[in-house]
Amino acid sequence: MTRILVAEDETRIASFVEKGLRAAGFAVSVATDGETALTEAQNGQFDLMILDIGLPGIDGFGVLETLRGEGNPIAVILLTARDSAADTVRGLEGGANDYMSKPFRFDELLARVRLRLKDVQPDAAGSLQAHGLELDLKTRRISVDGAQYDLSAREFALAEEFVRHPGQVLSREQLLSRVWGFDFDPGSNVVEVYVRYLRGKIGAERIETVRGMGYRLR
């Protein structure tokens, strides 16, 4: 059974998320402070964590930083305060897989949980695989149907986003925030430019343009 850790100190929110996830068939534990959330996440029994930023003790950023510093690959969806773009960017840069702004509708959170659980996670050797692509997270090299290519750091980060979310459409804005990670000029064409570089190396047909929406690995 898929196990989800909910780290949230507001009991009303924690309880409504817990009930909803249980009803959707997940096993759920709740942690109401940062230390407990960290310890529970470190024990490795969870597939995904819903992590509030404003936790007593260690805050959500601290929990995330410690986990990622230890190489813990647990999928993390951050709960951020409304209108806090800075928190969202900081969270995604810190290794969160996704975020929800409070207040949120439960069905929206559930949709994100299901999406994130479909994400490709690294195997024991630290490699990510999807659609004939294999990314070695240690050597930062990519293999395409067995042939190896060298990628720049940004190309690698972009390829990693595609391989982690095979078949999902990733918007320009998602790619900007996850790969470039800060307030990049939204009018910048850096995503288009790097998608072109990456296509040049791994084959144009592998990254599909979905008109008006973004790009998808296929």
Nearer to Ca ion, 81 or 204 (CB): 81
Nearer to Ca ion, 32 or 42 (CB): 32
Q: In this structure, are residues 142 and 202 in contact, taking their beta carbons and an 8 Å threshold?
A: yes
CB of 63 to Ca ion, least distance (A): 12
Collect all residues with Cβ–Cβ distance below 8 Å to 11 and sequence separation of at least 6. Answer: 32
CB of 137 to Ca ion, least distance (A): 32
**CA–CA separation, 218 vs 122, rounded Å?**
19
Rg of the chain, C-alpha, whole Å: 18
Q: Does 87 bind Ca ion (CB under 5 A)?
A: no
CB of 131 to Ca ion, least distance (A): 39
Q: How many helices (H) and strands (E) does the chain have?
A: 8, 11
In the complex, which residue's CB is closest to Ca ion? 54
Determine the interface stretch with Ca ion among 8-16, 59-67, 147-155, 190-198 (rule: CB under 5 A): 8-16
Nearer to Ca ion, 52 or 160 (CB): 52
Contact with Ca ion (CB under 5 A): which of 9, 35, 65, 136?
Answer: 9
Nearer to Ca ion, 34 or 122 (CB): 34
Contact with Ca ion (CB under 5 A): which of 18, 26, 41, 52?
Answer: 52
Helix ranges restricted to H, the chain: 11-23, 34-42, 60-69, 85-93, 106-118, 153-164, 172-175, 190-202
- At 8, list the tokens: 């949230």
Binding site residues, Ca ion, CB under 5 A: 9, 52, 54
